[in-house]
Amino acid sequence: MSPRRLFRTVAIAEAITWALLLTGMFLKYVTDTTELGVRIGGMIHGVVFVAYVVTTVVVAIDARWSLKRTTLGLLAAVPPFFTIWFDVASERRGALPDRWRLTTEQPAGTLDPVVAWLVRKPVQGVAVGLVAVAVLTGAALLVGPPTS
């Protein structure tokens, strides 16, 4: 899977889970019918949010994004649906490549060797990504929800 396709898939998934969470919040706070949508939608959104963050960092390192673009990409996950806007804007500016740079180039930066290993060994890379998302989600759950 190319960086462009991976990023787009996760960005769209993040936006969809925002919609699920917002629907759940509407049902809980406006119609006062159920809080199940917030529980389920919130958990799904949290996991996909973490996956988006991990994906953004990996793509940013491989594509040599500036700190500004990387920060904007990470912040795009906070307002609802901005990940789609960021994906479209990044593609228009040529920031989402069709191929992983580090599959063929020698790693140069501090984090390049890690990302190079992830993209050169895709099965292990996916496994490490899933473990990273699980560990970060678990840590977030230990800290507690955004609002107590």
> CA gyration radius for the chain?
17
Taking the C-alpha atoms of residue 146 and residue 139, their distance in angstroms, rounded to an integer, is 13
Q: Which helix (H) or strand (E) segment is 81 a member of?
A: none
Residue 24 lies in a domain: yes
Max distance between CA atoms of the chain, in angstroms, equals 56
Structural domain includes residue 148: no
Tens of each residue's pLDDT in the chain, 148 residues: 899 999 999 999 999 999 999 999 999 999 988 888 888 888 899 999 999 999 999 999 999 999 999 999 999 999 999 999 999 999 999 999 999 999 999 999 899 999 999 999 999 999 999 999 999 988 888 888 766 5
**Is residue 96 domain-resident?**
yes
Range of the domain at 122: 3-143
Query: Are the C-beta atoms of residues 4 and 63 closer than 8 Å to each other?
Result: no
How many domains does the chain fold into?
Answer: 1
Q: What is the DSSP letter of 111?
A: S
Q: Does residue 63 fall inside a structural domain?
A: yes
In a domain, 25, yes or no: yes
For all residues of the chain together, what is the average pLDDT?
Answer: 93
Taking only the tens place, the pLDDT of each residue in 97-111 is 999 999 999 999 899
Contact 107, 116 (CB under 8 A): yes
